[in-house]
Amino acid sequence: MQIKPDIIAAIATPPGRGGVGIVRISGKNLTSLAQTILGGLPEPRKARLSRFLDTGGQIIDQGIALYFPAPHSYTGEDVLELQGHGGPAIMNLLLSQCLACGARLAEPGEFTLRAYLNNKIDLLQAESVSNLIQASTSEAVRCAVRSLQGVFSHAINELVQSLTTLRMLIEATLDFPEEEIEGLYDTEIRARLGTISEQLARVMSSAVRGNLLQEGISVVLIGEPNVGKSSLLNQLVEDDVAIVTEIPGTTRDSIQKTIAIAGVPIHVIDTAGLRETTDIVEQKGIERTQAAVRNADIRIHLIDGSRRLADDTSQSALAAFSIDKPHITVINKIDLLDAQPRMVVSDNHVEIHLSARTGAGIDMLREQILKTAGWQTNQTEEGLFMARQRHLESLHTAQQHINAAWTYSENESNWELLAEELRIAQEALSSITGRFTADDLLGKIFSEFCIGK
């Protein structure tokens, strides 16, 4: 992907009214534009109180002008920021004047795209900018900042360098078999591969946990009518977001709320009760319940503890379609039995006894949701990487080919295959930082950014 040679401009602050609004301009040689709007370029990296003028010399606004000459700017190009009053009409007038002076409206993420193409940041850091803006918890913010500072990139680059060194030694042996490559034996190759595999496992562990901070965990509450799903939702979100009545079938559509548990976003979905019904509206709600179950990361199956398992029709309703999801069984209404909250674990199945009405046992459920998703509350967030799904897929691909390389390392006659597996693993890792990335993928990544960034 090539950098377009034109000048781009956009409003860099959110829509609406505010005390300050910013129009950002980036490109080569902003002298003419600055002359028309400001009467000349400000001194580099020094704030200057300026009048913002239109082509007729009339004042649009008064504010601060900042100029960052290339290459010492966010995009690596000349960058001019006009900080005026944050009214929509003022900002649109100022932007229109920039466009009249030869700039064009920036595409979503184009400023950051230019920073990437000008080698100011790598692709991981560029994506971290978007992640930072979209972060919904303080832990996610800190994780995104670490990735923006290059922590994730450094870990990937170390892996790539280790693979490059091993590939160099193996391919030198293959190309010059008559020469002795000191120290390169089967055992040495396996030792190096073992070190790389351990490095990759640590990176994957941090990336998976960081992905939970980025994407969150989707949790669906299921069960037959009147088992307490809506009451449980209200307890989890600590608010009365769902209507609770004694009438079965009160919830006829899915209700979703996002909460944070230990800094991890949890998307909780309350669903219509599963049962046989002739009510058309309720049937639609049950269809949506089934769709929510298929799309969720974790399902929580509620059972009325006062009736226990004697008449749980939701079991047969769930059996109507395939479910291969982690799940937690919740035995609700222990307050009616005068029982205490507890957790029973057997054969990798977790059963939590609680009261959605009183809140007894809710903290136990919160902890189990995180544990089921792979998040350990006793682990520190330091070193986590804000990873996206594409990063996890590339790490998984690299791991598969390193495992294949291990198989080929045992016999020198297979070293050509070994070298090829290492090459594919290296390319998979390099795609994370953008060393090997198709233009269509770049277009998709940056189209998710907001305009002005």
Question: pLDDT by residue (tens digit) across 325-367?
Answer: 788 999 999 999 888 999 998 877 899 999 989 999 999 999 9
Q: Determine the pLDDT at residue 87.
A: 92
Q: Determine the pLDDT at residue 416.
A: 86
For 9-27, letters b (16+ CB in 10 Å) and e give bbbbbeeeeeeebbbbbbb
Domain containing 91 — which CATH number?
A: 3.30.1360.120
CA-to-CA dists, residue 256 to 236, 259, 317, 354, angstroms: 12, 10, 22, 22
Shared domain check, 110 and 37: yes
Q: What is the 3-state secondary structure (H, E, C) of the chain?
A: CCCCCCCEEEECCCCCCEEEEEEEEEECCCHHHHHHHHCCCCCCCCCEEEEEECCCCCEEEEEEEEEECCCCCCCCCEEEEEEEEECHHHHHHHHHHHHHCCCEECCCCHHHHHHHHCCCCCHHHHHHHHHHHHCCCHHHHHHHHHHHCCHHHHHHHHHHHHHHHHHHHHHHHHHCCCCCCCCCCHHHHHHHHHHHHHHHHHHHHHHHHHHHHHHCEEEEEECCCCCCHHHHHHHHHCCCCCCCCCCCCCCCCCEEEEEEECCEEEEEEECCCCCCCCCHHHHHHHHHHHHHHHHCCEEEEEEECCCCCCCCCHHHHHCCCCCCCCEEEEEECHHHHCCCCEEEEECCEEEEECCCCCCCCHHHHHHHHHHHHCCCCCCCCCCCCCCCHHHHHHHHHHHHHHHHHHHHCCCHHHHHHHHHHHHHHHHHHHHHHCCCCCHHHHHHHHHCCCCCC
| Single residue among 68, 97, 121 that ends a domain in this structure | 121
Shared domain check, 410 and 350: no
Orientation angle between helical segments 123-134 and 110-117, nearest 10 degrees: 150
> Contact, 34 vs 13, CB < 8 A?
no
Q: Is residue 380 domain-resident?
A: no
Tokens of 295: 């799309």
Query: Comparing C-alpha atoms, which of 266, 295, 14, 269 is closest to residue 136?
Result: 266
> Contact, 62 vs 53, CB < 8 A?
no
Q: Is residue 127 domain-resident?
A: no
The pTM (predicted TM-score) of the whole model is 0.73
Q: Is residue 94 domain-resident?
A: yes
Shared domain check, 151 and 78: no
Tokens of 344: 């029973």
Shared domain check, 268 and 198: no
Q: Is residue 393 domain-resident?
A: yes
pLDDT means per 10 residues in the chain (453 residues)? 83 91 95 94 95 92 96 95 94 95 92 92 88 83 88 92 86 64 66 92 89 86 84 83 48 72 86 58 60 79 76 50 73 90 87 92 91 72 78 94 88 84 92 71 68 75
Q: Is residue 450 domain-resident?
A: no
pLDDT digits (tens, 9 = 90+) for 275-293: 555 555 555 666 666 666 7
Number of domains in the chain: 3
Written as one letter, the residue type at 103 is A
Q: Determine the pLDDT at residue 241.
A: 57
Orientation angle between helical segments 31-38 and 88-100, nearest 10 degrees: 130
Written as one letter, the residue type at 180 is E
Q: Determine the pLDDT at residue 446.
A: 74
| Paired strand residues for 330 | 302, 352
Shared domain check, 405 and 332: no
Shared domain check, 236 and 326: yes
CA dihedral 375, 377, 382, 383 (to 10 degrees): -20
Q: Is residue 444 domain-resident?
A: no
Q: Is residue 378 domain-resident?
A: no
Shared domain check, 366 and 229: yes
Q: Which structural domain range is residue 33 located in?
A: 8-121
Phi/psi class of residue 123: alpha, beta or left (left: φ > 0; alpha: ψ in -120 to 50)? alpha
Domain containing 204 — which CATH number?
A: 1.20.120.430
Shared domain check, 226 and 111: no
Q: Is residue 360 domain-resident?
A: yes
